[in-house]
Chain A
Amino acid sequence: MSTLAQRAGKAATVAALHADAVDRDGRFPEEAMAVLKAERLLGLQIPRQFGGEGAGLTEIAQICCTLGQACSAAAMVFAMHHIKVASLVGHGLDSDWHCRLMERIAREQLLVASSTTEAGTGGDLRNSICAVETTGDLFSLSKEASVISYGIQADLILATARRHPESPSADQVLVALSRDQVSLERVSRWDTLGMRGTCSDGFRLEARDIPVVQIVPKPFAEIAAQSMLASSHLLWSSVWFGIATFAVDRARAFVQGEARRRAGQVPPTALRLAEVSNALQAMQAAIVTALRRVEDLHGDADALGSIGVSVMLNNLKTSVSDMAVDVVQRALGIVGLAGYKNGTPFSLGRPLRDIMSAPLMIGNDRILANTAKLLLVQKSGGQLMSA
Chain B
Amino acid sequence: MIPAHDIREVLGHNGDLAPLVDQISEDDNLFDKGLSSFGSVQLMLALEQRFDIEFPDHLLNRRSFSTIRNIRSTLESLLEPSAA
Contact = CB atoms under 8 A, between A and B. Distances in A.
Interface of A: 126, 163, 168, 170-171, 219, 221-222, 225, 301-303, 305-308, 370, 373-374, 376-379, 381, 387
Contacts of B55: 377, 379
B61 A305 contact: yes
B9 to A, nearest CB: 19
B61 A303 contact: yes
A305 B44 CA distance: 15
Looking at A219, A221, A301, A303, the one whose CB has the most chain B CB atoms below 10 A away is A221
Interface of B: 29, 31-34, 36-38, 41, 44-45, 48, 54-58, 60-64
Contact of A302 (B37, B44, B48, B61): B61
Given A376-B45, A377-B44, A378-B57, A305 B38 contact: no
Contacts of A370: 37
A377 B48 contact: yes
B21 to A, nearest CB: 15
Given A302-B63, A373-B38, A379-B54, 4 more contacts: A168-B34, A171-B34, A221-B62, A374-B41
Given A377-B45, A377-B48, A307 B60 contact: yes
7 contacts: A126-B37, A219-B31, A306-B58, A307-B57, A307-B60, A373-B41, A381-B57
Nearest to A222: B62
B67 to A, nearest CB: 13
A100 to B, nearest CB: 27
A163 B84 CA distance: 44
Most interface-central of B34, B41, B58 (chain A CB within 10 A) = B41
Interface residues of chain A: helix, strand, loop or mixed (majority): loop
Nearest to A375: B41
The DSSP consensus for interface residues of chain B is loop
A222 B58 CA distance: 17
A378 B62 contact: no
B32 A171 contact: yes
A163 B33 CA distance: 12
Given A373-B41, A377-B44, A377-B45, A306 B34 contact: no
Contacts of A301: 63
B56 to A, nearest CB: 6
A221 B61 contact: no
B45 A302 contact: no
Contact of B62 (A163, A302, A308, A374): A302
Contacts of A377: 41, 44-45, 48, 55, 60
A350 to B, nearest CB: 36
B61 A219 contact: no
Question: What 5 pairs across the A-B complex have the smallest Cβ distances?
Answer: A307-B60, A168-B34, A306-B61, A302-B61, A308-B57
A302 B44 CA distance: 16
B52 to A, nearest CB: 15
A27 B41 CA distance: 43
A163 B62 CA distance: 19
B60 A308 contact: yes
A328 to B, nearest CB: 32
